[in-house]
Chain A
């Protein structure tokens, strides 16, 4: 690990002022579960690390009548222990449980989960965000079993590593972002993620000196569930996840949202799957149809066509789990 300055500001405004205006010169430290390893492996080598741990306003959950507000530095453990979160957002709790390590869940934060960098093995081994060696794409020429099947026109082929992203999009969450001089802005979770087109961009709409500080999830009485398909039960990233949410009245769904995880450089909302749910009676055959619809538009690479079947299964089971939930 290269040496760096450590800054520990006590307000968001101060934190923003300590961040550089271009990526890579400074990094934000939340729970450290991703950043510290990235520093060791020199995937990033900033001049300064800005810790958010002294900004007390970033921690904690506020439950209101129509929404739940979550500070970005709230740990995943505290998120899933919250009774309102458990009651209204089982999809979120399930997404956290999938992480499979109490150590990551107790140190990792909600904001950190959303801002973590891709797990692509070419990226983690020093070949850049797009996994290139000269003009050669190591992803296309090499082993791409864990890479994207949607949104993979290039140069980005990695998958978004966020566990919470798909669930927050399906639940209609809003994210609050703080910039310099105390300026704040809001973006829908759906708009927060983006696919970088060059190495000087990152995977979200955050500017280098902006900080994600709060997540608001509306309480809308939606049925919701997350289903993960994974290689093993222990700590690992899933192959494919699906979060679904919908209103259910007399067995018929409306306001449906189906969002896939680990299939694209961003969490991937499936319009076709959502459409299949809206106005339909939820049963096993509809759930299967919805899973089939979720694969529409997929373009697998040489080694990851297996993910198509996993998408079908994950969506089908998430739909049935959501419908069965109390």
Chain B
């Protein structure tokens, strides 16, 4: 294993210099000891982006959004802070509570644990894309009917997670639903109502409601 470089030996990456493609090879040889420098990579159509803002296009709820983000920006922060899609909530911000759940290419994921740059080219559905007050989806209807919330802060994440869950488990038992939704937390403890809502939504979906 090679010796670790001391930070003093590592020239900082200048964002402007980097964007212009200047002085990068000097940085790269000091910074990264791989066989290919970023400049060499850049000459071939670089796979390296950032660390400054880079333009990306996100496809959210069927609509394309263009924005610029640093690679370190999570999908959740991009949705909330750049695109004003604040339905996805930031609670634990560490992939535990489920309040930030969105659907990416048909799968439920924690948007706090996905970088926005990683979501490029994928179909993203947020709570804003599932229904409206006038035209709710079956899960939203069932949440209203069963009063499946108290403070409501975890609710968007639960609704998205339940919608995704029912896609892969159209006929869940109570046990299936409890296990399947274990990645969402409700600090008010309204789980009983939420489970009633999920099972009812499964029935509604089958009935074509």
Contact = CB atoms under 8 A, between A and B. Distances in A.
Interface of A: 1-10, 14, 16-26, 29, 32-33, 36-37, 39-41, 47-49, 51, 53-54, 75, 77, 97, 100-104, 106-107, 180-181, 200-201, 207-209, 233-235
A242 to B, nearest CB: 20
A9 B42 CA distance: 12
Contacts of B168: 102
Contact of A3 (B2, B3, B51, B104): B51
A101 B108 CA distance: 10
Contact of A49 (B36, B71, B96): B71
B118 interface: yes
B114 A5 contact: no
Contacts, number: 163
Contact of A103 (B31, B35, B110, B118): B110
B98 A101 contact: yes
A5 B48 contact: yes
Interface stretch (B57-65, B78-86, B175-183, B199-207): B175-183
B48 A100 contact: no
A27 B181 CA distance: 30
Interface in B93-135: 93-96, 98, 101, 104, 107-110, 112-115, 117-118
B75 to A, nearest CB: 10
B95 A37 contact: yes
A209 B110 contact: no
A17 B34 contact: yes
Contact of B182 (A14, A24, A33, A101): A101
B4 A200 contact: yes
A21 B50 contact: no
B108 A97 contact: no
B202 to A, nearest CB: 15
Contact of B47 (A18, A26, A32, A234): A18
B32 A25 contact: yes
Given A17-B34, A36-B112, 14 more contacts: A3-B51, A3-B71, A4-B50, A4-B71, A6-B117, A18-B41, A23-B1, A47-B13, A49-B115, A51-B118, A101-B98, A107-B109, A234-B183, A235-B96
Contact of A235 (B4, B49, B50, B182): B182
A21 B2 contact: yes
B74 interface: yes
A36 B74 contact: yes
A103 B49 contact: no
B38 interface: yes
B182 A32 contact: no
A32 B179 CA distance: 22
Contacts of A39: 72
Contacts of B178: 233
A94 B50 CA distance: 40
B183 A6 contact: no
A10 B178 CA distance: 39
Contacts of B2: 21-22
B196 interface: no
28 contacts: A1-B72, A3-B51, A3-B52, A3-B71, A5-B51, A5-B71, A7-B47, A14-B36, A18-B36, A22-B33, A23-B1, A25-B31, A33-B95, A37-B113, A48-B32, A49-B71, A49-B115, A77-B107, A100-B179, A102-B108, A102-B180, A103-B108, A106-B108, A107-B113, A107-B114, A207-B1, A234-B182, A235-B182
Nearest to A49: B71
Contacts of A40: 93-94
A181 B35 CA distance: 9
B1 A200 contact: yes
B161 A36 contact: no
Interface in B160-197: 161, 164-165, 168, 178-183, 185
A6 B95 contact: no
Contact of B161 (A4, A53, A97, A103): A103
Nearest to A41: B94
Nearest to A1: B72
B32 A26 contact: yes
A115 to B, nearest CB: 16
B182 A100 contact: yes
B136 interface: no
Given A40-B94, A97-B179, A107-B110, A6 B165 contact: no
B148 to A, nearest CB: 17
Contacts of A24: 4
Contacts of A25: 5, 31-33
Given A9-B47, A107-B114, A208 B1 contact: yes
Nearest to A101: B183
B71 A47 contact: no
